[in-house]
Amino acid sequence: MHGMTDEKDGHPHSGIDYLSELPQARPHIHETRKFPDGFLWGSATSSHQVEGNNSNNDWWDWEKAPGHILDGTLSGRACEQYERYEEDFDIAKSLHQNAHRLSIEWSRIEPEEGKWDMDEVVHYRRVLEALKARGMSVMLTAWHFTLPKWFAAKGGWESGDAIRAFERYVSFLAAEYGDIVDHWITMNEPMVYLVQSYGAGVWPPGVRSPIRNIHVFSKLCLSHKAAYRAIHRVLDGRTGADGKPVPVMVGISQNVITFEPYRKQSVVDGVFVWFADKMFNRQFFIWTWGAHDFIGINYYFHYRIKYVPRKITQLFYEVHTENREVSDLGWEINTAGIFDAIISMSRYRLPIIITEHGVANGDDGKRPRIIVAALKEVYHAILSGVDIRGYFHWSLIDNFEWEKGYSGRFGLVAIDYLTMKRTPRRSAYVYADICKANGIPHSLLRFMGHGVRW
Ligand code: IFM
């Protein structure tokens, strides 16, 4: 596991001298913490959040209603990635990333039920080929929260033939792009979708109904299973240029929350933590067991939760963040939690990929440390025997953060929304040095105070 490359303390590779801003360290030499060969180092986006002008999906009208987007913005042109994807992929490549995760906008590919828009099909082939041309591994998400208007009008996931429609769409993607996609994500964060769209009602279709929530949960499970089988049906048995079978890797991205009782001595808080973990983190895998080739983990949230029996509107709990470091969106930052999330999900004995991890931090004061600290945890999870194959930072560029609008800035690369100029943040170079080294150069541990002279 350990490489032989020695890192001189304070020696950045990227040419950006971010370490000079940190306190001096005692001079010492140390090995780079090497990750396994072939580890995927990338970043992630989704179509509606970056492309712009996705006017044929359920979010487009939803955004216009007063109060739906907290800062009053609309996705609108987003980051114009629909046109500027080459520029963005050039940046990712220059930052030494060797993989990229992105999603297909279903409403573009299938604008009317059963009708494929071949111009859009060609467009996405060009996008995916642009990644391959840069030598990057491709992770493709089929559904990342937005639904075509025709599908939403039929009742979305509640409609009688939702499963068949999703299976048809995903089979089409597999047939069109099977030669170019390395990892398939059928759906992004189904549990977050259920909470936001059918629990809190803050995403379309804006429903607050436990019964309908359970109904959609079952539809999502069945749709994932159908999509999983469809991708394998279309692609299994393919061989590569060397004549060897190409593995077909299909999974979901699951938002894993690490829960902790707010009142350590409280039995009821402890029971609720157990229940919340099972319901939110594991339920989907239990009901779709056998339909995952890997586990995709998105890690953002550490909830110190307090059971509140009378607050049905808050699903019986409160999340506390007092005295904790938080992001620009007020979410608690707990980088060590990614270790717990990985260990918890390793119970399924499947390869794990961190398909998202990131922080809203516009001035970038925290992101470099958060990246280094989280990756140190990933490194230790690998050392403890977990088969972790990659890490995708959320996000490559700032983008439209759903009901929060453009206020949450998650990008390694900052976007000026007036000019659309892309400017890598300091953290982009820190992450670039990690990607380039296929490990954590020891000098970067200074972001966490290691070896620093105080
Ligand atoms: O922006 C989202 C993304 O769409 C799904 N995972 C979490 C991100 C940050 O909230």
* 366-405 pLDDT, tens digit each: 999 999 999 999 999 999 999 999 999 999 999 999 999 9
> Which of 399, 400, 296 is closest to 345 using CA atoms?
296
If one residue of 49, 188, 189, 203 were mutated to test the ligand 1 pocket, choosing by the most ligand atoms within 8 A of its CB, it would be: 189
Peptide bond into 205 cis (omega under 30): yes
Other beta carbons within 10 angstroms of residue 277's beta carbon come to 17
Low-confidence ranges of the chain (pLDDT < 70): 1-15, 29, 311-315, 454
- In the structure, which protein residues have their CB atom closer than 6 angstroms to any atom of ligand 1? 46, 49, 188-189, 298, 300, 356, 394, 401
Model pLDDT, residue 386: 98
Q: Of all protein residues, whose CA lies closest to atom 9 belonging to ligand 1?
A: 401
Q: What is residue 454's predicted lDDT score, i.e. its pLDDT?
A: 60
pLDDT the model gives residue 159:
98
Q: Which residue has the tokens 């990607």?
A: 435
- Judge whether 113 and 152 are in contact, CB under 8 Å: no
One-letter amino acid for residue 438 of the chain: N
Q: Specify whether the CB–CB gap between 269 and 326 falls below 8 A.
A: no
Shortest-distance atom of ligand 1 to CA 44 = 3
CA of 308 to the centre of ligand 1 (A): 27
Comparing CA positions, the residue from 152, 163, 284 lying closest to residue 206 is 152
Instruction: Please give the Cα distance from 265 to 442 (Å, whole number).
Output: 39
DSSP string, 81-107: HHHHHHHHHHHHHHTT--EEEEE--HH
- How far apart, in whole angstroms, are the C-alpha atoms of residue 443 and residue 446? 6
Ligand 1 atom closest to 188 (CA):
5
Ligand 1 mutation pick, 105, 194, 401, max ligand atoms within 8 A of CB:
401
Atom of ligand 1 nearest to the CA of 404: 10
Size of the chain, expressed as the number of residues it contains: 454
Residue 119, judged by CB atoms within 10 A of its CB (0-12, 13-18, 19+), counts as: exposed
Atom in ligand 1 nearest the alpha carbon of residue 401:
1
Please tell me the distance between residue 108's alpha carbon and the centre of ligand 1 in angstroms: 21
User: Is the Cα torsion angle 337, 339, 344, 348 positive or negative in sign?
Assistant: positive
pLDDT at 7: 44
Residue the block writes with tokens 């399924």: 348
Atom of ligand 1 nearest to the CA of 360: 9
Q: Distance, CA 356 to ligand 1 centroid (Å)?
A: 8
pLDDT at 14: 66
pTM for the full predicted model: 0.95
User: What are the backbone dihedrals phi and psi of residue 154, each rounded to the nearest 5 degrees, phi first?
Assistant: -80, -5
Tell me how many degrees the CA angle 51-54-59 measures, rounded to the nearest 5.
115
Q: 401 CA distance to ligand 1 centroid (A)?
A: 7
What is the dihedral angle through the alpha carbons of 75, 77, 78, 80, rounded to the nearest 10 degrees?
160
